[in-house]
Amino acid sequence: MISGLVRRAGLVDVLGAVGQTNVQGEEQQKLDVIADEAMKGAFARTGRICVMGSEEDEDPIPVDEAYGYGKYTLLFDPLDGSSNIDVNVSIGTIFSIHRRKTSDGAGTLSDLLQPGRDQVAAGYVVYGSSTVLVYTAGFGVHVFTLDPTIGEYRLCHHDIKTPEVGKYYSVNESYYSRWSNGYREVVRAFKGDGTKDHRKNARYIGSLVADFHRNLLSGGVFMYPADSRSPQGKLRLLYEAAPLAFVAQQAGGAASDGRTPILEIEPAGLHQRTPLLIGSKDDVAFVEETVARVDGAPT
Ligand code: AHM
Ligand code: MG
C-alpha cells in the first residue's frame, strides 16, 4: 500500500504539508501521516501483535481487541527520510518485532521498551528505483524485490553478507563544526588526510534506509553522531537504529552509538534518540577506536 502511494504521490494529491487544503476544500494529508495510518490499519486486526509503536504517534498504539492480542509487538517508522518525500528521492519504512513481555491482554509500553538484542525479526522497505524488502528473523538477511505486475515480493538475494571494509562513508558533513574532535578526525581520515589507508568515497542521501541499504550491499559506514546541538544525535533507537543494527549484525556488519553496541542499549523511552554508527565491521571498529582515542572517556 505504501509503495503504491509513494509511486503515485505526485498524482494523488497527497504531497504538501498537513493543514493545506486541496481544490475540493479537503485537508491534504502528508504522505508520512498516510503511511502511518496504512501501517496501523494493516496490523491492528491481525491478531498477531498486542501493541504497536510508531515514530508518528507519541503513545503506544493499541490493537483491535475484537481480533485478539498476539504474542508480538511491532515498532515502526512508517516513512523515513521525510525531507526527501516531496522531492522524489528514495525513502523507506523500518520495522522491529519483539516477543511481548507481559503474558496476556493488551500490550503495554514495557512490552515496547526492549533492547535490540531481543528482536525476533526486523527489516525495512526502501522505495527506490524498485521497491525492495530486506528482513532478518535471526537467520541471515534476505532481500526481496516487489514485482508490481503481480503484487508480490520475489526473493532476489538470500543470506547476504556486507563487506568487512566499505567503499563509502555517509554522514551529514554540514554538522562538522558541531562534532567532537574524534568525529572530525574520522572524517579527515576518510578524506585521505594523514594516511591513504582509510580513504573512502562520500555518499549521503539523507534517507537513513537508502543510505544504509547502499552501504549494506556495497560496504560502507553511516554515521549520525551526537553533536553540540543534538547531544543524543537525531535518530531513534527503537524503530530506526535497533532494527537496522539487527540487519547489520546478521549480515556480518556492526552498529554502535560510538561506545556501546546498539543492540545492547536498554531503552528508557519510546522515542529515545541515539547516536548511530553502522555498517561494515572494520569501519565501525575504526571509527570507535578513533573516537575513543581522540575524545577519551565520556564525561
Ligand atoms: P525523519 O524520521 O524525520 O525522516 O528523520 C530521519 C532522517 C533519516 O532518514 C536521515 O538519516 C536523517 O534524518 C537525516 O537528517 P539530517 O538532515 O540532519 O542529515
Ligand atoms: Mg525516521
Q: Which of 83, 91, 95, 124 to mutate to test the pocket of ligand 1 (most atoms within 8 A of CB)?
A: 83
Strands 49-54 and 72-80: parallel
> pLDDT confidence of 16, banded at 50, 70, 90?
low
Q: With 90 as the cut, is the pLDDT of residue 291 above it?
A: yes
> pLDDT confidence of 17, banded at 50, 70, 90?
low
Structural contact between residues 76 and 94, judged by C-beta atoms closer than 8 angstroms: yes
Q: What is the CATH number of domain 2-157?
A: 3.30.540.10
**pLDDT the model gives residue 86:** 82
Nearest CA to ligand 1 atom 19: 172
Task: Tell me the per-residue pLDDT of 40-81, one tens digit each, with 9 for 90 and over.
Answer: 999 999 999 999 999 999 999 999 999 999 999 999 999 999
Atom of ligand 1 nearest to the CA of 92: 9
Query: Residues enclosing ligand 1, CB less than 6 A?
Result: 55, 77, 80-83, 172, 206-208, 234
> pLDDT confidence of 22, banded at 50, 70, 90?
very low
Q: Which of 127, 207, 234, 273 to mutate to test the pocket of ligand 1 (most atoms within 8 A of CB)?
A: 234
Atom of ligand 1 nearest to the CA of 84: 4
What is the number of residues in the chain?
299
Q: Under 8 Å CB-to-CB from 298, ≥6 apart: which residues?
A: 259
Q: With 60 as the cut, is the pLDDT of residue 235 above it?
A: yes
Atom of ligand 1 nearest to the CA of 224: 11
Q: With 50 as the cut, is the pLDDT of residue 24 above it?
A: no
Rounded to the nearest angstrom, the distance between the alpha carbon of 201 and the centre of ligand 2 is 24
Rounded to the nearest angstrom, the distance between the alpha carbon of 194 and the centre of ligand 2 is 35
How many CB atoms sit inside 10 A of residue 222's CB?
29
Distance of CA 200 to the CA centre of its chain: 23
Look up the pTM and report it: 0.94
Nearest CA to ligand 1 atom 16: 206
Nearest CA to ligand 1 atom 18: 172
Task: Tell me the per-residue pLDDT of 112-167, one tens digit each, with 9 for 90 and over.
Answer: 999 999 999 999 999 999 999 999 999 999 999 999 999 999 999 999 999 999 99
Atom of ligand 1 nearest to the CA of 174: 19
Rounded to the nearest angstrom, the distance between the alpha carbon of 82 and the centre of ligand 1 is 7
Rounded to the nearest angstrom, the distance between the alpha carbon of 32 and the centre of ligand 2 is 10
Which of the two residues, 14 and 266, has the higher pLDDT score? Answer: 266
In the chain, domain spans: 2-157, 168-295
What stretch of H or E contains 153? Answer: strand 152-157
Rounded to the nearest angstrom, the distance between the alpha carbon of 145 and the centre of ligand 2 is 22
Atom of ligand 1 nearest to the CA of 77: 2
Looking at the CA of 207, name the nearest ligand: 1
Task: Tell me the per-residue pLDDT of 263-285, one tens digit each, with 9 for 90 and over.
Answer: 999 999 999 999 999 999 999 99
Rounded Cα–Cα distance for residues 250 and 257 (Å): 18
Structural contact between residues 111 and 73, judged by C-beta atoms closer than 8 angstroms: yes
Rounded to the nearest angstrom, the distance between the alpha carbon of 197 and the centre of ligand 2 is 33
Q: With 60 as the cut, is the pLDDT of residue 6 above it?
A: yes
Q: With 50 as the cut, is the pLDDT of residue 203 above it?
A: yes
Q: First vs last Cα of the chain: how many Å apart?
A: 47
Let me know if domain 168-295 sits in CATH 3.40.930.10.
Answer: no
